[in-house]
Structure 1
Amino acid sequence: MHEEGRDWMVISYNNLKRDALSTQIADAIRDAILKGHLIVDERLPSETELAERFGVSRPTVREALKRLAAQNLIRTQRGPTGGAFVNRLSWSEAHDALVTTNTLLIGMNDIPFEAVIEARFTLEASCLPLAAERRSEEHLALMRSEAARQRDKNLTDEDFCSSDVRFHRAIAEATGNPVLAFQMAGAIEAMLPLMNMLTYRMRDRTRMADLHDNLIAALSDRDAPSAKALMDDLARYTLDLAEKRRKPRTS
């Protein structure tokens, strides 16, 4: 039995096609969750009731619920008070999904490298006014630590890339806006490793560390325009590396 008085018409039960029924049922429930019609910790109708309302078998409903559970949108509990409940998506789960999705979309589609560079730096530049205003000494200390690490000549390319990600993630976190920092994860943790992978043989680590040090100084002075100019310099340098990468080597 579902909750007394609850109107389960918040889920659209109509217009199912006969193909891929479980996918359509999962999409209907997912849509109700995303629109806020189904709230966190709310129990869904039973498998039997969902099967009756959708006009399908219980195994089909069970498959749909498995799809939703795989997306962390619902959880199932056993026992007399059990059932399927709307899940609360954690920041860490959403973060991992965002980074994975961005990485796959960029890696599996014919997206020009220049478009990736443009998107990443445009997004990161939008963080600079807030980062300059709200940065803490802890944020600056983290950036300084990473910039210093990047000057270590014994640092591997992989470790340099990881340090580069941490440096720019600190800028996003310095905004003090968790939603903005979350959205930046797709740009920094998906796009930046790709950019480093394609340009690491040609880049000048000292030049990058210098740019990072100057960025730190601008943010420390709460000078957003200077920080933006330095970010533009870093974008142009990355575009130059992309251009060199395209040019064939001459003997």
Structure 2
Amino acid sequence: MTVEFGNVVTVSAAKQIAESIRAAIIDGRLQVDSRLPTEEELAHRFKVSRPTVREALKRLAAQHLIRSRRGPTGGNFVASPAPDEAAQSLANATTLMVAVGEFSLDDMATARLELEGVCCRLATVHRTDEQLEVMQRELTTQRDTLLTDEEFCASDVRFHRALVDASGNPILRFLMHALVEALQPVSNMIIYRVRDRQSIIGFHERILSAVARRDADAGERALNDLVGYTREQYREALERRAKRAG
């Protein structure tokens, strides 16, 4: 199959070539598992050098859009979507945006409350006994007084990941990956000195109980209280930082 790509200009040629191929993948002109033209063919088509084509292919590989295979039947192929890899890329980008100040933790709390609230309501309908057991195991872990702050944070993340998984909605799971996997650890690192573990455990117990009883309203109230508590602890942590700096 011959695929027509748009013309490119010489400035940032590798980037434009990557975008042209990406567009062909997204709109279906290049199907999953189809083989891309060779580097030589692409260089001739785009009127650029092979190193420029290689750079474009590296960009596509970094976006998980293509994969390479060696051997007589090898080459570069359109990759099948990998939700976990894409979600992790989103989480990494989100963490960076927080680090440079593009997203505030208050923005995060608002987004988390809205999205995880939907997940919580859906979880009361779609949750399984196995998912309840996962959440219960994390609660048991969190009650261990010998747990380090890092271990408690990791368990906190796993608890909310299980809640999101219980929603049964793959799109929400994908979107919440950025909030739960990236932003919650950042928040925990800031507030761990001022938060009370027993308070966090108490909110988690209320959430789990509501999901187990299939009580959507109670689940959302518990989640709302947890996010409100986190916001307050975040403000307190920032005040303490300001005093030390002063």
Aligned: 1:237 with 2:232: no
- The C-alpha deviation readout for 1:76-103, integer Å capped at 9, x for no partner, is 3344433221111323322321221221
Which residue is equivalent to 1:26? 18
Letter of the 1:239 counterpart: R
Structure 1 Cα separation of the partners of residues 42 and 99 of structure 2: 39
* Percent of aligned pairs with the same amino acid: 45
Measure the CA separation in 2 of the matches of 1:102 and 1:56: 34
Contact 1:120–1:191 (CA<8 Å) still a contact in 2?
no
Unaligned 5+ runs, structure 2: none
**TM-score, structure 2 as length reference:** 0.91
Q: CA RMSD of the aligned region, Å? A: 1.8
Which letter does structure 2 place at the counterpart of 1:66?
K
Match in the other structure for 2:199 = 207
TM-score with structure 1 setting the length: 0.89
What is the CA distance between 1:110 and its match in structure 2? 4.1
Match of 1:246 among 238, 243, 246: 238
The 8 Å contact of residues 199 and 242 in structure 1, kept in 2 or not, is answered as: yes
Q: In 1, Cα distance between the equivalents of 2:105 and 2:62?
A: 32
Match of 1:8 in 2: 3
Alpha-carbon distance in structure 2 between the residues aligned to 1:157 and 1:80: 52
Deviation at 1:214, TM superposition (A): 1.1
Which residue matches 1:221?
A: 213
Q: Tell me the residue number matched to 1:73.
A: 65
Unaligned segments of structure 1, at least 5 residues: 1-5
Match of 1:165 in 2: 157
Q: Which AA in structure 2 matches 1:176?
A: G
| Amino acid in the other structure paired with 1:43 | R
Tell me which amino acid in the other structure corresponds to 2:156.
D
Question: What is the aligned partner in structure 2 of residue 92 from structure 1?
Answer: 84
In 2, the alpha carbon distance for the partners of 1:95 and 1:117 equals 19
| 2:97 counterpart residue number | 105
1:194 matches 2:186: yes
Of 154, 161, 167, the match for 2:146: 154
Q: How far 1:247 moved relative to its partner?
A: 2.5
C-alpha distance in structure 1 between counterparts of 2:226 and 2:201, whole Å: 11
What one-letter code is carried by the residue in structure 1 that aligns with 2:114? T
Contact 1:161 1:196 in 2 (8 A): yes
- Higher helix fraction: Structure 1 or Structure 2? 2
Q: Does 1:42 align with 2:37?
A: no
In structure 1, distance between residues paired with 2:235 and 2:40: 60
Residues paired across the two proteins, number? 242
1:3 maps to: none
